[in-house]
Structure 1
Amino acid sequence: MEQAVLPSKKRIDSIDILRGSIMIIMALDHVRDFFHVGAMTGNPTDPATTTPALFFTRWITHFCAPVFVFLAGTSVFLAGIKKTKKELSVFLLKRGIWFIVLEIVIFNFLFSFDPLYHFIGLQVIWVTAISMLLLAALIYLPLPVLFVLGLAIVAGHNLLDNFNSTDPAKIPLGWSILHQQSFRFYAENRSFMVLYPILPWPGIMLLGYCLGSLYKPGYDAAKRRRKLIAYGLSAIVVFVVVRWINVYGDLFPWAEQKTTTATLLSFLNVSKYPPSLLYTCMTIGPALIVLAWIEKARKNWMNITVVYGRVPMFYYLLHFLLIHLLCMIVFFAQGYTMAEAGSGFMLFRPNEFGFSLGITYLIWIAVVASLYPLCKWYGRYRATHDHWWLPYL
């Protein structure tokens, strides 16, 4: 399907198409953060105050981070087919360390536009890095052991919710890094936020790594699709049943609201920080079914999404740079001054700044479309060159 559009080094189109799709959707959430009028003052997933359109604008982007980390695990398995365990482990160690530097030095600047780094945040690149570092040691274990370990982390980490502090000011740093999101000031006008605690992200990557075994050369494609559908449906059933029981699997139980629609939103409003068992089932389950469907589907839009899916980190950094640059341009065009730019956290984005949801969608489409030529060029470059640094970007 795609080889005529973009040459590849024996890549698996279905994985790249799914990854590209969630990368495109991910940009919607980041555009919303910078351009929607209520992004800094309201909660888009609060059933009592949101609208269905705003809720699902946020909800659909829930799929992005877990599917990204899950597929990163799958890609690690596939990369290891032609490597020894030692070679793969060393690669994961180097890439994990590089990702941590990338998160702290480069992404934090793109997020804040503050060269003095008054704000430091640990987000999805950080937990991807930590997951890779752990996987570098764990890949020597048998695949069934890794599957059980990944499942135990994802299914069991919510048991730790009972140890969370109810006072944000009293959350120990170590506990915050491990399991509970926190925001703290560590010096005058300097802050540090653990937006993505480590658990259960290594478990999600481990499960993705195990899924990679279904893509080994010679594996029966029809059997793989049946397994993907079975795994996906199982995850969805777990989500519906456990969420309905309402006693485990998420920080926030659902509750009956004033309307049926609001009650449905409450049911779907599961915890992302950190991703609960139910959050993971709700997102990974449908993604596995889509992955099975993509294998046999032949749609024109797939020729577009695969381009983004083959250069995910390049696209990730570039789209954040473009969004923040556009925000800064609009900020000054609307008459704001440098004195109103703020400090540390998302410069050039005042709380009262922004547009309607419709305009936000138009900006999202323009951002994604404008990056297509660059992503296509870089994808071709990666596919036809072997520089040592290419696997790291």
Structure 2
Amino acid sequence: MSLLARREAIVVFLAFAVAYFLSALLRAITATLAPTLAQEFTLQASDLGLLAGGYFLGFSATQLPLGQWLDRHGPRAVLLGFLGVAVAGCLVFSVATGFSGLLAGRVLCGAGVSACLMAPLTGFRRWLDPTAQLRANSWMLMTGSFGMVASTLPVQWLLPVAGWRPLFWALAVLLVLAMGLLAASVPRWPVARLAGSVGSGVPAGYGVVWRHPYFVRLAPLGFFVYGGMVAVQTLWAGPWMQRVAGYTPLEAATGLFWINLSMLGTFWAWGLASPWLLRRFGGADPIMAAGLPLSLLVLAGILLAGEQAGGGAWALYCVSCTFVSLSQPAVALAFPQELAGRALSAFNLVIFGGVFAVQWGIGLAVDAGMALGLETVPAFQAAMAGHLACCAAAYAWFLWRGQRHNVVQTAIP
């Protein structure tokens, strides 16, 4: 398939961006709704944790088959089918009368929006040149940050006016409208051509992806640094601000709002700067190698500052981690077009595995530290120090593998 003209590429990007905005809003909305749901359904903390995890359960369960379907059927057909599941999930959640209904709705929502980033990135691998791919990836992540911002204070303002059930009816309608926009805007996939390519020697399955030297090189960064960034942004920044820095709940919620807003601005800036940076450094790998030590230094500074580190410090940490976002389009470019969907979905599974592991691991480490007699602040510092060590090891692995192997680099023609 030939590259898209500029005007067509913009329309296609906007269609995908609408869907990804809604997926990010759906992912984060339960944090805002948690007090309301806990009161109405008498939910315990463990219930709320499982409800939040239900989204990621549905999301993760689809990643491996999703990659094969994207390579075979293309972004348009796959995303339209998946968004239909998300519509059903919103409706199930909106009419739930108990915890089981809420959980079923969240699992369906997670599964239904699980293609909202992988589908456009797979399409961009065929439809855009390498520079445009990296820019489009940054701006797609920007729309996700915008969705997370929209899930905080705007949802809180709407709750007393509309109630949480009508909010999910509205989300279902918006998802249907997004499906119409995708159907009208996104090109069809050349199925016949892809089938011929596979028959010409492109392996089936994921073995070639897992064993690829470049995938092996980037996987620890995806797991610990990328996954850790999302884990902090979506969970641990809040408890740190309240239990370590002494924020009130409202102050912590405001801090999270500004963290998400800073991420939105950062990804917008990445989209503007990436063409110049790629020309200046010659590829994504040198940019990540030069920039990621900043995130390690910021996290080390947060540990030393302890109670003095608040929302601004965690915003700086999340922003400094965004160098790792270049890894997703870099992975896609390291594989043939016919394997892009599988490569991206496999890497996304690594990232979300990291989100789960870091979220749970930090919690276990905090509890273990307090069980051993540490106060709250030192327990949090010790847990975050463990995360810092894992991120530093992943960065060292990235550098070492780059020297040891002549791997594929993301370069501008």
TM-score with structure 1 setting the length: 0.32
TM-score with structure 2 setting the length: 0.30
Greater share of residues in helix: 2
**Structure of higher RCO (CA pairs closer than 8 Å, 6+ residues apart):** 1
